[in-house]
Amino acid sequence: MKKLVELLVIIICFLLQSTIFHSISFAGIVPNLMVVITSIFGFMEGRNDGMFVGFISGLLIDIFYGSVLGWNALIFLLLGYVNGIANRVFYPDDIKFPLLFISLTDVAYLFITYVTGFLFRARFNVSYYLGHIILPELVYTIIVSVLVYLPLLRIFMLIDGRFEETE
Amino acid sequence: MARVKVKRRGVKIPPGYLLLILTVVSVLLMIMTFTTDIVPTIFNGIAGYTFMPFKKGLSGISVYANQRADDFKQIRDVISENKALKEQIDELTEQNDMLVENRFELIELRGLLDLDSEYEEYEKIGARVTGKDPGNWYSVFIIDKGEEDGIKEGMNVLAGSGLVGLVTKTGPNWAQVRSIIDDQSNVSARMLNTSDNLIVYGNLEAMKEGTIEFGQLSDSDDEVAVGDKIVTSNISDRYLPGIAIGYINTIEKDPNNLTKSGTLTPVVDFEHIDVVLVITQMKEENSLE
């Protein structure tokens, strides 16, 4: 049941990300919803769910937009796992913590992509990429994650039956 | 208050093992991409049939939204443009008559020379763009035609009259296109007027400015100038010859004093590609092996 809902969330986010998000892009930059949900499911539901969501998200990106199958799946898998470790110190009431973790995850993802996809091909202009891609995407992603986090939190509290304990 | 343990059905896999298993799966998938075609083909098929219907619908909505937004912006420009265009029509009608005459002459002469005008005779398939790269690093997009429509890896993709890119992956009902402005793209090109060869490099920095980089232009006679047209070269092994790429925007001598490099303005508006044409004829059938 929970896995099905998670799968549904991944599919919806992936479709939005590759279609409608490009028309709300700001200065050509789109927020990265796939990183957001991987991170959220990681710290909200634990390592297994984080890995599951990350792996499927990454795989979808690989199939449609990647050149090597499994590469993004691996990165997202690791991101999901690391976020899952943070599940131990996660409290649903605090919004600062999720935002911090989503930001760190996005930075990690952007950094890995830059190093493997650009730095290795002798694109050394780090400050350009930092100013024109990494920072704008980070800011935009944080804004979007606020909108995504709260509804997801409510839905999954219902599914997990955790409402009683927090009240 | 104590945390309520939620009872789960079935066996729970320890996270460490799951991490290991999925990592191995990822690595295996990567290896398989380089060695076999079977597994990626299966994935492409499953994903294609599940996602393409939704993607088509959603991209329709986003195209519609974009167009409405543009409409407002454009109305003012259109009025003033209309006036100028009417004047141009008169001018062009006159020119057209002249050109039609020239064309007949051309056909006649071509017949004599037994040349076929290649560019016009390429067979093309129209396709709609249904999704764009989810990140901000690459310029890759998905079209709604695939193997079932006769599209193969390595085919050239046009929009309007300019080169957009290359088909890099195919599914049964979708195909992936890597555009020439993508950071990983290289196109072997040629100056239309002087026939000098050059290379057009996709570059993320230039891409954000709306231009493309080029280099290795050996123009010893200093004949190439800003505004000159660049087309695909006939020595390229992936691109068909004579497809328009763009016009030179800036040009300067390289430190080695032998070659020149600079930026060019593409013919195609890469920000707003909705419909593309795929040329079903390929440069070399064996270049893919």
A103 pLDDT higher than 90: yes
A59 exposure class (CB count in 10 Å sphere: 0-12, 13-18, 19+): buried
For residue A87, being part of any structural domain is answered with: yes
Give the rounded distance of the alpha carbon of A17 from its chain centre: 11
- Average pLDDT in the B24-29 region? 89
Helix ranges restricted to H, chain A: 2-18, 33-45, 47-65, 71-85, 96-117, 126-129, 135-160, 163-166
How many Å apart are CA B3 and CA A43, to the nearest integer?
Answer: 16
Residue of A64, A67, A121, A129 for testing the chain B interface, max B β-carbons within 10 Å:
A64
For residue A50, being part of any structural domain is answered with: yes
Return the pLDDT at B17.
Answer: 86
Return the pLDDT at B286.
Answer: 46
CB pairs < 8 Å spanning A and B: 158
Cα nearest neighbour of B23 on chain A: A74
β-partners of residue A99 are none
Asked if B17 and B132 sit in the same domain, the reply is: no
- Average pLDDT in the B243-265 region? 89
Return the pLDDT at A166.
Answer: 45
CATH classification of the domain holding A27: 1.10.1760
For residue A69, being part of any structural domain is answered with: yes
For residue B5, being part of any structural domain is answered with: no
For residue B232, being part of any structural domain is answered with: yes
A64 touches chain B (CB under 8 A): yes
How many residues in total does chain A contain? Answer: 167
How many residues in total does chain B contain? Answer: 289
Asked if B83 and B169 sit in the same domain, the reply is: no
Asked if B129 and B212 sit in the same domain, the reply is: yes
CA nearest neighbour of B15 among A89, A155, A77: A77
For residue B192, being part of any structural domain is answered with: yes
Domain that holds residue B43: 13-115
Return the pLDDT at A165.
Answer: 47
For residue A115, being part of any structural domain is answered with: yes
- Average pLDDT in the B11-25 region? 84
Cβ distance A84 to A43 under 8 Å? yes
How many Å apart are CA B246 and CA B227, to the nearest integer?
Answer: 9
Instruction: Flag the least confident range among A14-23, A90-99, B71-80, B109-118.
Output: B109-118
DSSP A28: T
Asked if B269 and B130 sit in the same domain, the reply is: yes
A120 pLDDT higher than 80: yes
For residue A109, being part of any structural domain is answered with: yes
How many Å apart are CA B204 and CA B184, to the nearest integer?
Answer: 9
Return the pLDDT at A89.
Answer: 85
Cβ distance B261 to B252 under 8 Å? yes
Angle A47-65/B15-35 helices, nearest 10 degrees? 10
- Please tell me the total count of domains within chain A: 1
- State phi, psi for B239 to the nearest 5 degrees: -105, 140
Asked if B62 and B130 sit in the same domain, the reply is: no
What does chain B look like in DSSP terms, one character per residue?
Answer: -PPPPPP-SSPPPPHHHHHHHHHHHHHHHHHHHHH-SHHHHHHHHHHHHHHHHHHHHHHHHHHHHHHHHHHHHHHHHHHHHHHHHHHHHHHHHHHHHHHHHHHHHHHHHHHHHT---HHHH--EEEEEEEEE-SSSS--EEEES--GGGT--TT-EEEETTEEEEEEEEE-SS-EEEEETTSTT-EEEEEETTT--EEEEE--HHHHHHT-EEEEEE--TT----TT-EEEE-TT-SSS-TT-EEEEEEEEEE-TTSS-EEEEEEESS-GGG--EEEEE-S-S-GGGG-
B285 pLDDT higher than 60: no
Cα nearest neighbour of B177 on chain A: A65
For residue A67, being part of any structural domain is answered with: yes
Contact B183 A165 (CB under 8 A): no
pLDDT in tens, A49-87: 999 999 999 999 999 998 888 899 999 999 999 999 988
| pLDDT interval class at B98 (50, 70, 90) | confident
Contact A70 B135 (CB under 8 A): no
Return the pLDDT at B32.
Answer: 84
For residue A156, being part of any structural domain is answered with: yes
Return the pLDDT at A50.
Answer: 92
Return the pLDDT at A162.
Answer: 56
- CA angle (A14 as vertex; A9, A17 as ends), nearest 5: 120
Instruction: Provide ipTM, 2 decimals.
Output: 0.81
How many Å apart are CA A149 and CA A140, to the nearest integer?
Answer: 14
Residue of A19, A41, A157, A158 for testing the chain B interface, max B β-carbons within 10 Å:
A19
Asked if B21 and B127 sit in the same domain, the reply is: no
The two structure tokens encoding residue A143: 């804004």
Contact B51 A59 (CB under 8 A): no
Domain that holds residue A151: 2-161
A121 touches chain B (CB under 8 A): yes
From the list A15, A77, A81, the residue facing B58 with the nearest CB is A15
| pLDDT interval class at A164 (50, 70, 90) | very low
- Please tell me the total count of domains within chain B: 2
Contact B134 A47 (CB under 8 A): no
For residue A166, being part of any structural domain is answered with: no
β-partners of residue B213 are B201, B263
β-partners of residue B132 are B141
Identity of residue A55: F
| pLDDT interval class at B289 (50, 70, 90) | very low
The chain-wide mean pLDDT, for chain B, equals 82
For residue B7, being part of any structural domain is answered with: no
Asked if B196 and B104 sit in the same domain, the reply is: no
Return the pLDDT at B10.
Answer: 56
Return the pLDDT at B9.
Answer: 53
Q: Please say whether the dihedral angle defined by the alpha carbons of residues B276, B278, B279 and B283, taken in this order, is positive or negative.
A: positive
A28 touches chain B (CB under 8 A): yes
The chain-wide mean pLDDT, for chain A, equals 87
B1 pLDDT higher than 70: no
Asked if B153 and B267 sit in the same domain, the reply is: yes
Return the pLDDT at B113.
Answer: 61
For residue B4, being part of any structural domain is answered with: no
A13 touches chain B (CB under 8 A): no
Asked if B135 and B211 sit in the same domain, the reply is: yes
Asked if B200 and B72 sit in the same domain, the reply is: no
Identity of residue A163: F
Asked if B39 and B155 sit in the same domain, the reply is: no
pLDDT in tens, B49-63: 888 888 777 777 777
For residue B1, being part of any structural domain is answered with: no
Return the pLDDT at A80.
Answer: 93
Return the pLDDT at B115.
Answer: 46
B3 pLDDT higher than 70: no
